[in-house]
Amino acid sequence: MSILEVKNLTHTYDGNTPFFSDAVRDVSFSVQQGEIIGIIGHTGSGKSTLVQHLNGLLKPTHGEILLDGKDIWENPKQIRMIRSKVGLVFQYPEYQLFEDTVYKDIAFGPKNMGFDDKKIEIVINEICEIVGLKKEYLEKSPFDLSGGEKRRVAIAGVMAMQPKIIVFDEPVAGLDPKGRADVIKMIADYRNKYDATVIIISHNMEDMALIADKLIVMNKGEMVLFDKTENVFKQHEFLKSIGLNVPMVTQIMLVLKQMGMDIPDDIFTVDKAVEFLLRLAKGGNTNA
């Protein structure tokens, strides 16, 4: 059974005003336990609106969200409990830090979920390892940290609730390449350690190629593609037509292909491309 199922989700903003618009229209998909799902799409295509439904921050105008087969809005009073099962890391999460020490800030979520002090301490130690926060940071003020460190603390704050499903809204926005790689790695580590399901919104196709099992492509509030990552990236012309692109290395491969080289169209990571080109070089120019 799928862990999370979205059925015919439609969300209309400002329904009664002249400014109303469908932010998300008739979106359906299902997610299996342990999968990493990427959501890509143009700015304003409804990605953020979509993910805010997954933990009940927004209520669908039409349609439903099933978590473990049960509608999350079945009992609206229990919606806070859904948030312990589906964690959501917002864009620029570092702006939501508020406590006077890093430890207290990370503990905010677990405390709200009713974890006792002992469990909180254990969880925080585990999570700090995943996000790469050193012990001595825990007693510092979060406002004395650098941007990248703040991001780690904020992500740790959501991870510490140990959600079964964790959703990231552009987790790498505004980070340098090293910071980006670190964040991608901690997401993968969290998934592996807790056997969690991950949903990521990103504009970075390279990261998606690296980490996502499946991709959801959003365009103007509608889901236009939902397929395995390689199947989505194979449709480079369609992606371009809706203002998206394939990973940089795939673009290079496409140019090489146009120049007459015999190149498969499923190369989406630099490692794979290097491997392929080396094989090509060793085998001589027979294919070219």
Partner 1 sequence: MLNDITFGQYYANNSFVHKMDPRAKLLILVTIIVFIFLAQNAVALSLIALLIFCGVFFSKVPLKMYLKNLKAILPILIFTLLINLFFTSNVNTQPSWSFELFLGLTITNLSLYRAFYMAARILLLIIISAELTYTTTPNDLTDAIENLLSPLKFIGLKNVVHTLAMMMTIALRFIPTLIEETQKIMNAQKARGADLESGNLIERIKALIPILIPLLISSVRRAYELAEAMECRCYNGGEGKKRMKQLKYSTNDYTAFFIVFLVCATTIAVNFIL
Q: Would you tell me which residues interact with partner 1 (CB under 8 A)? A: 52, 55, 57, 80, 83-84, 87-90, 93, 95-98, 108-109, 112-113, 143, 157-158, 161
Residue 92, token pair as written in the block: 């620029």
Min separation Cβ 153 and partner 1, Å: 12
Question: Please, which residue, 114 or 260, has the CB nearer to partner 1?
Answer: 114
Question: Please, which residue, 133 or 159, has the CB nearer to partner 1?
Answer: 159
Min separation Cβ 147 and partner 1, Å: 12
Question: Please, which residue, 82 or 246, has the CB nearer to partner 1?
Answer: 82
Q: State the DSSP code for 127.
A: H
Among 215, 192, 220, 213, smallest CA distance to 203 is for 215
Min separation Cβ 97 and partner 1, Å: 7
Question: Please, which residue, 95 or 195, has the CB nearer to partner 1?
Answer: 95
Within 46-134, strands assigned E span 62-67, 70-71, 86-89
Amino acid found at 230: E
Buried residues in 138-149 as b, exposed as e (16+ CB within 10 A): bebebeebeebb
Residue 254, token pair as written in the block: 């496409």
Min separation Cβ 67 and partner 1, Å: 15
Min separation Cβ 40 and partner 1, Å: 22
Question: Please, which residue, 39 or 205, has the CB nearer to partner 1?
Answer: 39
Question: Please, which residue, 158 or 210, has the CB nearer to partner 1?
Answer: 158
Cross-strand pairs, 226 = 216
Residue 218, token pair as written in the block: 């959003």
Question: Please, which residue, 108 or 190, has the CB nearer to partner 1?
Answer: 108
Residue with tokens 């399901």: 197
Amino acid found at 200: I
Residue with tokens 């990427």: 38
Q: How many helices (H) and strands (E) does the chain have?
A: 11, 10
Min separation Cβ 199 and partner 1, Å: 13
Q: What are phi and psi of 198, to 5 degrees?
A: -125, 140
Q: What are phi and psi of 18, to 5 degrees?
A: -65, -10
Min separation Cβ 114 and partner 1, Å: 9
